[in-house]
Amino acid sequence: MPVKKAKVLRKAKGEYHHGDLKTSLKQAALRLVRDRGPRGFSVNEASRLAGVSVAAPYRHFHDKDALLAEIARDGYELLEREIRKSVEKVGNLREQIVESGMAYLRFARNHADYFSVMFQSGLDRSKYPEIERSARNGFGVIVGLAQQYERTPELAELRAVSAWALVHGLAGLDQDGALSSAAGKSRTLEQLRPILERFVDQPYN
């Protein structure tokens, strides 16, 4: 879990300027989302966590939604990076597709805070084009793989949409705990790999 050195989360007591309040606020918000769910976050509380006054955030974000939107965008970018990294690790195209899906599932589990801001915060995406753009970039990776994998653009699109829906659905259900087997035992991500492999090995034509 690479966490960029030891960042300043709280402002030092005697200081006036924080140094990197914008980043701190996003981290504080993410922590609140992690601890109290996607709705359990408030600007005021994030301010307190960062050790500044409640008005300070408004020097960096137009409003609460703008803060959330920026976190969402960060999330999409992080997701895309992680997918690309996973894809680069293997040579075989089939494996690349499987790994991109596994990366999606890992992201949803390891960065559940980002994931819930991205998909469960009820943000009005149409108001933040940069989110749309980042999301589309990420999806582009999947589309690219599908295009290499399928013969026609139509089949590629079908494959890409199906793949995205499958991993997105798995990720969502996993986060809701709906995938834990009857006994309540949680599932390893590796246990989901066969689902992806089956999907990839299904011929489209």
Structure tokens belonging to residue 196: 């992806």
Indicate whether 170 belongs to the interface with a second copy (CB under 8 A).
Answer: yes
Indicate whether 117 belongs to the interface with DNA (CB under 7 A).
Answer: no
Structure tokens belonging to residue 167: 């991993």
**Min separation Cβ 2 and a second copy, Å:** 28
Q: How far is CA 55 from the centre of its chain?
A: 28
Q: Cβ contacts of residue 190 below 8 Å, gap of 6+?
A: none
Indicate whether 56 belongs to the interface with DNA (CB under 7 A).
Answer: yes
Question: What's the CA gap between 96 and 87, in Å, rounded?
Answer: 5
Indicate whether 140 belongs to the interface with a second copy (CB under 8 A).
Answer: no
Among the listed ranges 54-62, 70-78, 131-139, 173-181, the one in contact with DNA (CB under 7 A) is 54-62
Among the listed ranges 61-69, 81-89, 118-126, 127-135, the one in contact with DNA (CB under 7 A) is 61-69
**Min separation Cβ 65 and DNA, Å:** 6
Indicate whether 53 belongs to the interface with DNA (CB under 7 A).
Answer: yes
Query: Is 8 strand, coil or helix?
Result: coil
State the binding partner of 140 from a second copy, DNA, none, CB within 5 to 8 A by kind.
Answer: none
DSSP per-residue string spanning 73-90: HHHHHHHHHHHHHHHHH-
Query: Is 116 strand, coil or helix?
Result: helix
Closer residue to a second copy (CB): 21 or 141: 141
Q: With contact defined as beta carbons under 8 Å apart, do 51 and 11 qualify?
A: yes
Closest Cα to residue 150, out of 200, 86, 96?
200
Closer residue to a second copy (CB): 58 or 199: 199
Indicate whether 121 belongs to the interface with a second copy (CB under 8 A).
Answer: yes
Q: With contact defined as beta carbons under 8 Å apart, do 31 and 77 qualify?
A: no
Q: With contact defined as beta carbons under 8 Å apart, do 54 and 43 qualify?
A: yes
Residues that bind a second copy (CB under 8 A): 37-40, 116, 119-122, 124-126, 135, 139, 158, 161-162, 164-170, 172-173, 176-179, 194-195, 198-199, 202, 204
Residues that bind DNA (CB under 7 A): 11, 15-19, 21, 41-45, 51-56, 58-60, 62-65
